Amino acid sequence: MRLLVCGGAGFIGSNFVRLRVRDHGDEVVVLDKLTYAGRRENLADLPEVPLVVGDIADREAVDEAIGDGVDAIVNFAAETHVDRSIAEPDAFITTNGQGTYQLLEAARRHEVERYVQISTDEVYGSIEVGSFTEESPIVPSSPYSASKAGADLLVLSYFHTYGLPALICRGSNNYGPYQYPEKLIPLMILNALHGDPLPVYGDGMQVRNWLYVEDFGRGIGHVLAHGTPGEVYNVGGPDECPNIEVVKRIVELTGADPSIIEYVADRPGHDRRYSLASEKIRALGWEAQVRFEEGLERTVQWYRERRDWWEPIRSGEYREYYERQYGRRLS
């Protein structure tokens, strides 16, 4: 297939591109704005993949990336960090809303055979017991998840109104190589390796449904190949775990001193628990292959080995972000 992967220089997007090029022999073009979260380095081992630097909300940039045509568009491009959406929602509304709209219009103009929107379990809100199915109501809590929910509804409207062959994948919390260290797992790994405080929000008993990034990529591939247009597919990880248990395991795996764990002020509007029922994508033949215990070990190992990848990040924009986000919270 010839694929346009938007946001392909980010965490999940770059892992997906690697999977498609190496395992499926796809021809891939990446369109990415290279925000703080997008990095050329994430695709450094894939020199054959052209990178168009541009905004998904810019019609001309999207047309340039599509060029003579693509079989499918897979859209990962988004502002993705909940804490940033609470502090500064603006870019979330523009990229996740207006950007998705421009891609849908381009898919229509170019008569693309498939459009896959990458979405999130956060659009369902929080669930104390049981799991969300694709039929569960959309009740997002943060500006991030609301902007993603709005995008999902727009995608479905293009299927119903214009017959655009669009599909949606809603993933649970991803982790693995190349994840920007603002997110829980890489932040805790790098802080633990440096002996810095490990800031746990609230009581640390919030539960996330962890999905190894390659499993998500394989799931998206199943939906791309076998999904039914107009349908939503949940892609949930095999294991759930309270945040504090994740942090304690990272302390063990890095050999850090447990006293660096520090409980800090909670995130406003913090969702207590996410959990996805994934029977629908299982019926397409997908199954998660990596259990959390194994995936976390692999991830810690990757960050141990890839100082060259994270060192430039920790000394750049990230320092200022970290100070704004944690400076006053940490004792």
92 vs 102: CA distance, rounded Å: 15
109 vs 168: CA distance, rounded Å: 20
Shortest CA distance to 275 belongs to which of 168, 80, 136? Answer: 136
Decide if 86 contacts 267 (C-beta within 8 A): yes
Give the nearest distance from C-beta 209 to ligand NAD in angstroms.
Answer: 10
13 vs 32: CA distance, rounded Å: 10
263 is catalytic: no
Catalytic residue among 32, 83, 121, 152: 121
239 binds, among ligand NAD, ligand DAU, none (CB under 5 to 8 A by kind): none
Interacting positions 244-303 with ligand DAU (CB under 6 A): 267, 274
* Binding flag, residue 187, ligand DAU (CB under 6 A): yes
How many other C-beta atoms are found inside a 10 Å radius of the C-beta of residue 130?
10
Give the nearest distance from C-beta 121 to ligand DAU in angstroms.
Answer: 5
Give the nearest distance from C-beta 258 to ligand NAD in angstroms.
Answer: 26
Query: Which part of the chain contacts ligand DAU (CB under 6 A), choosing from 48-56, 65-73, 195-203, 234-242?
Result: 195-203
Give the nearest distance from C-beta 208 to ligand NAD in angstroms.
Answer: 9
Question: Among residues 19, 49, 80, 223, which is the contact residue for ligand NAD, using CB under 6 A?
Answer: 80
Structure token pair of residue 61: 């940039």
286 vs 223: CA distance, rounded Å: 9
184 binds, among ligand DAU, ligand NAD, none (CB under 5 to 8 A by kind): ligand DAU
* Binding flag, residue 120, ligand DAU (CB under 6 A): yes
Structure token pair of residue 218: 């394989």
Q: With b meaning 16 or more CB within 10 Å and e meaning fewer, what string describes 149-182?
A: bbbbebbbebbeeeebbbbbbbbbbbbbbbbbbb
Under DSSP, the state recorded for 92 is I
Give the nearest distance from C-beta 125 to ligand DAU in angstroms.
Answer: 11
Catalytic residue among 32, 79, 122, 152: 122
* Binding flag, residue 310, ligand NAD (CB under 6 A): no
Q: Is the dihedral of CA 91, 308, 75, 32 positive or negative?
A: positive
Query: Which part of the chain contacts ligand DAU (CB under 6 A), choosing from 69-77, 132-140, 183-191, 251-259?
Result: 183-191
How many other C-beta atoms are found inside a 10 Å radius of the C-beta of residue 233?
26
Question: Among residues 3, 28, 52, 57, which is the contact residue for ligand NAD, using CB under 6 A?
Answer: 57
* Binding flag, residue 37, ligand NAD (CB under 6 A): yes
Residue 95 or 142: which CB sits closer to ligand NAD? 95
Which residues, listed in sequence order, are joined to residue 80 by a DSSP beta bridge? none
* Binding flag, residue 149, ligand NAD (CB under 6 A): no
E strand intervals along the chain: 2-6, 27-32, 51-53, 72-75, 114-120, 166-171, 174-175, 198-201, 207-212, 232-235, 239-242, 261-264
* Binding flag, residue 180, ligand NAD (CB under 6 A): yes
Sheet holding 27-32, edge to edge: 51-53, 27-32, 2-6, 72-75, 114-120, 166-171, 232-235
122 is catalytic: yes
* Binding flag, residue 7, ligand NAD (CB under 6 A): yes
* Binding flag, residue 199, ligand DAU (CB under 6 A): yes
Residues that bind ligand NAD (CB under 6 A): 6-7, 9-13, 32-35, 37-38, 55-57, 76-80, 95, 99, 118, 120, 148, 171, 173-174, 180
Q: Which residues are catalytic?
A: 121-122, 144
Residues that bind ligand DAU (CB under 6 A): 80-82, 120-122, 172-173, 183-184, 187, 199-201, 206, 208, 243, 267, 274
